[in-house]
Amino acid sequence: MEYMRNPISSRRAHRHNRSRAPIDEMSARGRAHMPGRGRGLFWQVFLPNALILGIAVAVLTLSPVSVSRDVSGAQAALLGGALVAMVLVNLALIRRAVRPLEHLARVMAAIDPLYPGHRVAVSTSVSEVEELADVFNVMLDRLEAERRDSGRRMLSAQERERMRLARELHDEIGQSLTGLMLEIDHVARQVDADTERQLREVQETARGLSDEVRSIVRRLRPEALDDLGLRSALIDLAQGFERLTGLAIRRDLDADLPPLDPDVELVIYRIAQESLTNVARHADASQVELALERGAGEVVLRVGDDGGGLDGAAPGSGMKGMLERSLLIGASVDFHPRAGGGSEVLLRVPLEAGRPRGSA
């Protein structure tokens, strides 16, 4: 008995299982007696016990040994030995019967919701264990589907709020700072040299604030992604990252990418953005690689660095955020060390999951 990882195509091929009505008691009983199922746990416990009791009765009936009213030491030893033998045999048989259930419980506990696609596979003679594994797998199908759907809705709501904040920052604070700089410039032309110098310093401070607001707006909502597409948005992201950090980024962005759903493009962009942010904060790297390429039936994003590597660190909020985002589009993301030092983030998006909605 073990748990296995189903491929994305297998999960999608069985989507109809997720929409089935809840499993009622009658259908569960029916599956317990389907051909090919093992013997029930009840019978595996009852029959050995009945057999042991039958053997004990037969031995007492056919054996020449008799037990008097006043039990002798030899008789007590014989009865005690028989009792111990019955208990040990019973323990061994019951232990054998419930071992698959204990194993199934350990396998269930090992499944991590952040790494979907794992399913319980059983090979046992206990029908209840097989039935429990089937029900657990159906439950995982439904949970993953519901989590993906609710996550997409959450992502859409989050991006709408990001867009609203970006628009307000640009239209309100950005415009106000621009107006302030123009007013300072107008006043500076009409005062003495010493006051003009002080006003120019204030103007430079306002210009720095304006640049910071524009940077925040770009991080909130990448305009290049909406206007120019994913590849151009990643180029703009890398160039901005180089300006801010001084790190060199080697870009390898495939120009012949398949059409992707806007939500998928946004997830790819956000994971690339978070990966670069993690490199700047934690990696102590001198060079970064950003690659986006079309593979065999998938689109692959790779962000690597030559820094200190993961060094056994537990996933933080940034890594967990990337895992959760990848779940929304049926993709997988892995974090592993690079052969020459440093670490790498690898996002794999199946083309079936990334295809624009409504396309054939």
Residues 143, 236: one domain? no
E strand or H helix at 61: helix 41-62
What's the rounded Cα separation, in Å, for the pair 304 and 197? 46
Q: Quick one: pLDDT at residue 300?
A: 93
Residues 140, 282: one domain? no
Task: Report pLDDT digits (tens) over 122-167.
Answer: 666 667 777 888 888 888 888 877 777 777 777 777 777 877 887 7
Nearest to 20 by CA among 169, 142, 191, 158: 142
The better pLDDT of the pair 230, 44 is held by 230
E strand or H helix at 324: helix 317-328
Residues 141, 14: one domain? yes
Q: Look at residue 304 and tell me whether its pLDDT is greater than 80.
A: yes
- Does a structural domain hold residue 206? no
Q: How many domains are contained in the chain?
A: 2
What's the rounded Cα separation, in Å, for the pair 244 and 237? 11
Give me 92's structure tokens.
């061994």
Task: Report pLDDT digits (tens) over 231-290.
Answer: 988 998 898 888 888 888 999 999 888 888 888 888 899 899 889 988 888 778 888 999
* Torsion on CA atoms 257, 260, 264, 266, rounded to nearest 10: 70
Residues 355, 234: one domain? yes
Residues 12, 110: one domain? yes
Q: What's the predicted TM-score (pTM) here?
A: 0.56
E strand or H helix at 165: helix 127-168
Task: Report pLDDT digits (tens) over 172-195.
Answer: 888 888 888 888 888 888 888 888
300 strand-pairing partners: 293, 348
**Residue 133 burial by CB count (10 A; 0-12/13-18/19+): exposed, middle or buried?**
buried
Task: Give residue 323's domain range.
Answer: 228-360
Q: Quick one: pLDDT at residue 33?
A: 40
Residues 267, 359: one domain? yes
Q: Taking the CA atoms of the chain, what radius of gyration do you get in angstroms? A: 33
What are the two backbone dihedrals, phi and then psi, of residue 67, each rounded to the nearest 5 degrees?
-115, 120
The CB-side HSE value for 66 (13 A sphere, CA atoms) comes to 3
Residues 8, 126: one domain? yes
- Does a structural domain hold residue 168? no
Residues 26, 141: one domain? yes
Residue where a domain stops, chosen among 91, 118, 152: 152
What's the rounded Cα separation, in Å, for the pair 330 and 337? 24
225: left (phi over 0), alpha (psi -120 to 50) or beta: alpha
Q: Look at residue 121 and tell me whether its pLDDT is greater than 80.
A: no
Residues 15, 130: one domain? yes
- Does a structural domain hold residue 173? no
Residues 148, 7: one domain? yes
Residues 6, 136: one domain? yes
Residue where a domain stops, chosen among 152, 183, 203: 152
CATH of residue 251's domain is 3.30.565.10
- Does a structural domain hold residue 163? no
What's the rounded Cα separation, in Å, for the pair 89 and 85? 6
* Torsion on CA atoms 159, 160, 162, 166, rounded to nearest 10: 140
- Does a structural domain hold residue 268? yes
Nearest to 116 by CA among 155, 92, 148: 148
Residues 148, 6: one domain? yes
Task: Report pLDDT digits (tens) over 190-229.
Answer: 888 888 889 889 989 988 888 888 778 777 777 778 778 8
- Does a structural domain hold residue 119? yes
Give me 247's structure tokens.
């790190």
Task: Report pLDDT digits (tens) over 26-42.
Answer: 333 344 444 444 556 66
- Does a structural domain hold residue 238? yes
Task: Report pLDDT digits (tens) over 83-116.
Answer: 788 788 777 877 777 777 777 777 777 777 666 6
Residue where a domain stops, chosen among 152, 182, 205: 152
- Does a structural domain hold residue 164? no
Q: Quick one: pLDDT at residue 17?
A: 40
